[in-house]
Amino acid sequence: MEWRHRHLFDLDDWTREDIERVLALTSEIEGILNDGGKALPSLKGKTLVNFFLESSTRTRVSFEIAAKLLGMGVINWAAASSSMAVKGESLKDTLWTLESMGVDVVVVRSSWVGAPQYMARKLRRARVINAGDGTHAHPTQALLDIYTAWKRFGSLEGKRVLIAGDILQSRVARSDIIGFKKMGSEVIISGPGNMVPLNYKALGVRYEPDFAKAVRESDIIYLLRVQKERWQVNAIPSDYEYHLSFGCSEETLREARGCAVVMHPGPINRGVEIASEVADGDKSLILEQVRNGVLVRAALLYLYLGGDA
Ligand code: CP
């Protein structure tokens, strides 16, 4: 069945069936890789450009590995040394140049909300995948989070997901809220009042200011970094004080449900939102999320570039 989306901006125009299709294909790819990887679907002859205007480790590298697993060519466009940065070339001309050289998919990260949509309007043939636009959306992170949780719990129907920390600045929180709710989960948020969006009720979530209580009541404890680089003011009194109220320590986690898991999109700040013992502990799925990022992104490339799944 043909994939009905041309570009990936966010999950708001996705159905639950769309998400389930990605989960099924990711699971299939994981099975093939566990068997030695010989029968992996192929996108040989296609080319991906990583177009990152903001820093990244996980997302950029995992797209590169995923594309190479499928036999694709990969270009890591370097923002700082590009003709856009140094010689005044416009974004539109840069995109047309890359497209003329045969690029099939542009994976874009930018601090500019709406950059993926703008780029999709300028491109004539190539697909656009949003790898994070400002504080707006990070749909591939949400899909790998959902895949990781789905593998652990089997079904996400009725599961309670706590997203805690700097919700206001978090594109991950916004995409995760949309995605987990589409899968039938309940989402609650926690964090300091200044880090909670004023319109949080419109997102269909409940706000629980008592972090320890929220941890006790949840199946998935999803922690977020304080994005100091996006705050114009000191958002928290100190890392230490933040940790006392909203950091997940071993002591806080001791009160959690037996089945509860800890997740984080990374990068983690040890001793702030998460204690080292929790990050490295047996409830942590953080490195599994990273591993699954490669698989989910491979599935997405296959679907968006016309693979038959
Ligand atoms: N989670 C995430 O997007 O990590 P990077 O910023 O390292 O890509």
What are the pLDDT digits (tens) for 11-49? Answer: 999 999 999 999 999 999 999 999 998 899 899 999 999
Statement: residue 296 has pLDDT above 90: yes
Q: State the distance from the centre of ligand 1 to the C-alpha of 280, rounded, in angstroms.
A: 18
Nearest residue by C-alpha to atom 5 in ligand 1: 56
191 within 8 A of 300, measured Cβ to Cβ: no
Confidence of residue 228 (pLDDT cuts 50, 70, 90): confident
Judge whether residue 273 has pLDDT over 60.
yes
**For residue 56, how far is its CA from the centre of ligand 1 (angstroms)?**
5
Query: How far, in Å, from the CA of 58 to the mean position of ligand 1?
Result: 5
In ligand 1, which atom is closest to the CA atom of 60? 8
Distance CA 100, CA 82 (A): 16
Q: Calculate how far, in angstroms, residue 304's C-alpha sits from the geometric centre of ligand 1.
A: 21
The conformation of residue 229, written as its DSSP 8-state character, comes to G
Q: How confident is the model at residue 91 (pLDDT cuts 50, 70, 90)?
A: very high
The beta strands (E) that lie in 32-83 are given as 47-52, 73-78
pLDDT at 155 over 90: yes
**Average pLDDT score, the chain:** 96
Report the atom number in ligand 1 closest to the C-alpha of 138: 3
Higher pLDDT, 153 or 228: 153
With a Cβ cut-off of 6 Å, ligand 1 is lined by: 56-59, 132, 141, 265-267
- The count of other CB atoms within 10 Å of the CB of residue 293 is 26
Q: Whose CA is nearest to atom 3 of ligand 1?
A: 59
Residues of the chain with CATH 3.40.50.1370: 16-138+290-305, 139-285
User: Is the pLDDT reported for residue 97 higher than 60?
Assistant: yes
* Percent of the chain with pLDDT strictly greater than 90: 93
Per-residue confidence at 1, pLDDT binned at 50, 70, 90? confident
The C-alpha atoms of residue 60 and residue 65 are separated, in whole angstroms, by 9
Record the tokens describing residue 229, joined without a space: 């680089």
Supply the pLDDT for residue 307.
65
Ligand 1 atom with minimal separation from the 266 CA? 1
Return the bridge partners of 164, or none: 190, 223
**Strands of the chain, DSSP E:** 47-52, 73-78, 105-110, 127-133, 160-164, 186-190, 206-207, 220-223, 261-263
Whether the per-residue pLDDT at 308 is higher than 60: the answer is: no
**Is 16-138+290-305 in CATH node 3.40.50.1370?**
yes
pLDDT at position 160: 98
Residue 179 corresponds to which amino acid?
G
DSSP-derived 3-state class of residue 145: helix
Q: How confident is the model at residue 309 (pLDDT cuts 50, 70, 90)?
A: very low
Q: Can you name the CATH fold of 139-285?
A: Rossmann fold (3.40.50)
Q: How far is the CA of 55 from the centre of ligand 1 (A)?
A: 8
DSSP three-state, residue 47: strand
d(CA 214, CA 196): 15
